[in-house]
Chain A
């Protein structure tokens, strides 16, 4: 048994502003400590649902379905004893594969073996209506009251058999109920669609171009989920009167804009969801607010950022950091750029440049595409984001002498999708 990890929040900012300036930017670095083993401590209960695409296309080629069965079985093997779990098949609608009666099983050697047997019978028919799958998972999760609820969603195609509005509705009803990691196998699915789900449900999105890669990926996802100990952690941002929050973004390990997910707490405070946390995790957030400028020499609290979690005893503050503003006439103070803020501003621009570039490329606007992707290459190189640099190199050619960026005439769909899905992945500030 393990107890909840301890959290720390560290603020990185230049608190000095020029006279009259109002924008205050800071990076909040949140870290959970390594797990503390304490026998008998109360631990969070968890529930897992694996949602497997069983639409007709999964059988073309058959390798997708076969690998999906194996990957699901591998993930089931990772589920810890005592965890509630279920496997759901999805096509035009969703139906339970295990347990067959539409409940959730409790993991042990017997139930895991039963589940793996059931998964072998997964077939492939009909079309794709992902909203239905999400709704089914939600209903299953809500038969219980587990603290941590997590799903893995696998698809190989576009959400062709329901409207975008239907999917949006489903995403909305599932928001806050469970977190969801989305995987697309092959290249016939749509990145934007799965990203919409993973963003709202605080999970990740990625491409598994070759079905043979599914097993390792599912195992890794389930292992990471099993490590989570603290559910529903929120970033509470308090700002003084006459202050507006420009944005709150997660910036590491990947860029996720949380601004629109704010939930009202008080007139001056709102909560942004961060999902579940395991031990020894570190995530960075970029908070940007506009304050009412005060006179030179004055100091103010621009925002108080707390990590909060609801417990039986009410709302609990796990860690806290203060974002300040001090107005100064000294330009050397006010023009100093904080390394963390600058770095993550660059990483966010990198992600945006990649997405803009790919969008322009799809639209046939090669000039814009080359310009934006060229900028991305530049930032990736400067900031040491080698993963993005490598992915970019599969889509553009960079002249080693002039640095001029040209779109590759032929790009594999998988490479383009990999660049798209992973464009938001950031690197940490260099030490």
Chain B
């Protein structure tokens, strides 16, 4: 593998080169485990037990919009069978978060900002392809949490869940995977249990990249009546617990007091369950936590 493609150091936040796999600013080892906590918005990503590198990526940031603060979160899972999947996921996550922050600041509404962000991410990943016949590819799930609305968009099988602050039974899966398993279930060929037991369960049917059909994302918005949390994750987590209520039990009550600890608890669960895949977990408080300093920048 070439130098890890992440432009920022998890330890010091510097935009730095990683010569010899160490940050050229603070010397920290380039970690395939990273933890970002912006207060009210936290995430963790980890290589897991079975893989050599982390092909997942996340980007977290906060934007001041004309109507208040908004939390922005992106999770991408590089498609392992493509070339340079780690570069694809990092590029997509960074481009999407940057695009979304700019659009929201300019007053663009959540759903439209998400749509633009996915287009921007798709263009960035296409740009990596060169003349490759196995172009870098990645999934994406992106969310924006504003005072009164949560909007999520996705392509592929990275997921978004709504976890209410108290009421576990009303936890929700917000996304529907672009995967072979999901398609087989939806046309009635297999039951959900059968589908996820099959080896094809993780074949994604849509992705971002030069050889993808269309970058038009799925978009969904909810207006929750209670406070709670938006959870974005890669399949490294939901493989072991796809059920919204189950995830709710893992994340709460920790999320009520320490979002970073709750994200870590979800990751630990995935690792303890086997850690077969790269795992990324992002939690965003809804409504967002007000803050004085805009855009602390947690882009990883």
Where the two chains meet, the residues of A that have a C-beta atom closer than 8 Å to any C-beta of B are: 239-243, 268, 291-292, 294, 298-302, 304, 322
Contact = CB atoms under 8 A, between A and B. Distances in A.
A237 to B, nearest CB: 12
B29 A301 contact: yes
Interface string B1-37: 0000000000110000000101111111100000000
B15 to A, nearest CB: 14
Nearest to B33: A297
A319 B62 CA distance: 44
Interface in B141-167: none
A25 to B, nearest CB: 16
A314 B126 CA distance: 37
Contacts of B22: 240, 300-301, 322
A298 B12 contact: no
Nearest to A297: B33
A104 to B, nearest CB: 43
B27 A298 contact: no
A243 B27 CA distance: 9
Contacts of A268: 24
A240 B20 contact: no
Interface of B is mostly: loop
Nearest to B27: A240
A322 B29 CA distance: 12
Given A294-B11, A304-B20, A322-B20, A240 B29 contact: no
A15 to B, nearest CB: 11
A242 B29 contact: no
A50 B126 CA distance: 68
A268 B26 CA distance: 10
A241 B11 CA distance: 12
Given A241-B12, A304-B20, A322-B20, A298 B26 contact: no
B281 to A, nearest CB: 19
Interface of B: 11-12, 20, 22-29
Given A240-B23, A322-B20, A300 B12 contact: no
Contacts of A242: 26
Which A-B residue pairs are the 3 nearest by beta carbons?
Answer: A240-B27, A301-B22, A299-B29
A268 B20 CA distance: 16
Contacts of B11: 294, 298, 300
Contacts of B27: 239-241, 243, 291, 300-302
Contacts of A239: 27
Given A241-B12, A294-B11, A301 B20 contact: yes
A300 B11 CA distance: 10
Contact of B25 (A240, A294, A304, A322): A240
A244 to B, nearest CB: 13
B256 to A, nearest CB: 25
Contact of B29 (A241, A291, A300, A304): A300
Q: Give the residue among A242, A298, A301, A322 with the most B Cβ atoms within 10 A.
A: A301
A304 B26 CA distance: 12
A294 B28 contact: yes
Given A241-B12, A294-B11, A300 B20 contact: no
A289 to B, nearest CB: 10
B23 to A, nearest CB: 7
A339 to B, nearest CB: 25
Contacts of A240: 22-23, 25-28
A298 B26 CA distance: 13
Contact of A298 (B20, B24, B25, B29): B29
B25 A300 contact: no
Contacts of A243: 27
Nearest to B29: A299
Contacts of B26: 240-242, 292, 300
Contacts of B29: 298-301
A302 B23 CA distance: 11
A211 to B, nearest CB: 54
A294 B31 CA distance: 13
28 contacts: A239-B27, A240-B23, A240-B25, A240-B27, A241-B12, A241-B25, A241-B26, A241-B27, A242-B26, A268-B24, A291-B27, A294-B11, A294-B28, A298-B11, A298-B28, A298-B29, A299-B28, A300-B11, A300-B26, A300-B27, A300-B28, A300-B29, A301-B20, A301-B22, A301-B28, A301-B29, A302-B27, A322-B20
B141 to A, nearest CB: 29
Q: Give the residue among B11, B20, B26 with the most A Cβ atoms within 10 A.
A: B26
Nearest to A320: B20
Q: Give the residue among B12, B24, B27, B29 with the most A Cβ atoms within 10 A.
A: B27
Given A298-B28, A300-B22, A301-B28, 5 more contacts: A240-B25, A298-B11, A300-B29, A301-B29, A322-B20
Nearest to B12: A241
Nearest to A267: B25
A25 B26 CA distance: 18
B207 to A, nearest CB: 33
Nearest to B11: A294
Contacts of B28: 240, 294, 298-301
Contacts of A301: 20, 22-23, 27-29
Contacts of A294: 11, 28
A159 B26 CA distance: 48
Nearest to A304: B20
B49 to A, nearest CB: 15
Nearest to A326: B29
Nearest to B28: A300
Contacts of A322: 20, 22
A299 to B, nearest CB: 4
Contacts of A302: 27
A300 B29 CA distance: 5
A374 B176 CA distance: 80
Contacts of B20: 301, 304, 322
A88 to B, nearest CB: 47
A300 B24 CA distance: 11
A291 B22 CA distance: 14
A304 B23 CA distance: 12
Nearest to B14: A241
B34 to A, nearest CB: 12
Contacts of B24: 268
B288 to A, nearest CB: 28
A96 B27 CA distance: 53
A301 B20 CA distance: 9
A424 to B, nearest CB: 32
A400 to B, nearest CB: 51
Nearest to A322: B20
